[in-house]
Each structure stands twice: as structure tokens, then as C-alpha cells.
Amino acid sequence: MKKYITIFLITLLSCNQLVNNNNEYKIQAQVWTQNSAEYRALCYQAFNAAKINLDLFFLNKKEFDKPLAIITDVDETVLDNSPYDGKLILNNISYNRESWVFWGNLEKAEAIPGSLEFLHYASEKNVEIFYISNRYAEQLEATVNNLEKLGFPDAKKSNVLLRNDSRSKSERRKSVYDKYKVIMLIGDNLADFNDEFEIKLSEERTNYTDELSNDFGTRLIVLPNPNYGDWESNGIYEGMNYNNLQKDSARKAKIKSY
């Protein structure tokens, strides 16, 4: 009997730790992002591919009847917010609007490797740069300031489009498409590219990605982000609002073995 009570208590303790510990599972991804040369290499690779395809397929084309533009996401695409995620992990707290806005107001995010060089190159070739982000509207000034401090081109309020009521980027993208020929989209989340990725869940996201395989690395440039994103919320958790214990179970259920 004593043996079973001990096992029960250990199990209960483990469950309590899962419920109360929000971020333990994120540590490996965070350490990899902030410390691995491989992460930096993937970022450089993405922007090198973007430059090659900009030169090959889009510059000096006579058939375009509108000025050229590139749409890029901001967070984890051109600005590195991993120190914010690091603070969440070390303090064992979850993302919340107040702390996120506070971090943004510090204007301390650094440039993602390769992003500044590529966007400068595109800008010098008369390509307008638009930054479409799901940062809150109240963060506009701080976001512009952060981009401007780092020297990003077109870092001005007219070109930095943040969210108001909806997380969907559809209308903001359309406002750019109406006036420009958008030749490339850059992001760390597939929802940065089109509406379908904003609504598809789990296996649907994978299947749709396969359908667009020829666009990745050419017209659609993806940056690595193992820390957060729709790959987790709409993929692993399939759009469900799980607690920590349920999230842990969902993650393990997605692991493939033999």
C-alpha cells in the first residue's frame, strides 16, 4: 500500500509541475535560437536566397505596371525578440500584452542576421519595403524607432502596418497590393504569406505547404522560429485552448517513433 501511495504522490507532483511550469519545454528551442551557429546560418541562407531570386526574376523586368514592393513581417523576421522569450522562461511566466508592450518600448531588439543587408539591397534597387506585423497599434512609434535605430529602409509610420482589431493581415496586405507589385513576402510564420494559413489547422497546414513547395525560397522566404507560432497553436494544439498539462500531452502525441 505504501508503495502505491508513493507512486501516486510522485505522479501528482509531476502533474502539478507540468501545470505550474509554463516554459520548461521551451528552453532547448530558446538556447538553440540564441546560441547556435546553425540558427544564424539558416537566417543568412534565407536572405541569400531572397537576394538571388530578386536579381534573377524581379529586377529590371519591363512587364510590371506598378512599383515593386516587398512585404516582411517584423518579429523573428527582421527583429530578434528572443530576450523577451528568455525573460518569460527565466521568470516562468506566460506571454501577456503588458510585458510584451514593455519589451517593445525598450526599443532594444536587434536585427535578425542577414535581414538588414538584404532589405538595404532591395531598397537600393528601388523596391519599397513594407513591414506588416501583429504588434499592437500602440506599439507603432516604438517599432518604427527600433527599426530606424538599426538602419532598416523605409522605417516610417506609413510603411509599418500594425494590427488594430484583427490578427488577420489580409486587409493590410491588400492595401499594399493595391498600389504595388508585391514580388516577395518574408516571415517566420506561414500566416505571414496568405489567408489560408491563418485558418488551416494541423495536417491541412502541412498539405497546403506541400502544394506551395515551389514558392518557398523564391517568392516566399521563411525564417526559422522554434519558439512560438501557428505551427504550435494551429498545428500541434490544433486551435484548441489547452492548459499546460494538455499541451504537454498534445506535444508528446505528435512525436513520431517506431
**End-to-end CA, the chain:** 36
201 touches 235 (CB < 8 A): yes
Question: What is the pTM for the complete model shown?
Answer: 0.90
CA-closest candidate to residue 158, choices 177, 176, 174, 134: 176
Adjacency order of strands within the sheet including 160-163:
160-163, 128-136, 68-72, 181-187, 220-222
Spans of all domains in the chain: 25-249
Cα–Cα separations (whole angstroms), residue 200 to 53, 83, 231, 258: 28, 30, 10, 28
Comparison of pLDDT for 21 and 178, the residue scoring more: 178
- The answer to whether domain 25-249 has CATH 3.30.930.10 is no
Give the tens place of pLDDT for each residue, 35-82: 999 999 999 999 999 999 999 988 877 778 899 999 999 999 999 999
130 touches 154 (CB < 8 A): yes
Give the tens place of pLDDT for each residue, 148-179: 999 999 999 999 999 988 889 999 999 999 99
Contacts of 207 (CB under 8 A, 6+ apart): none
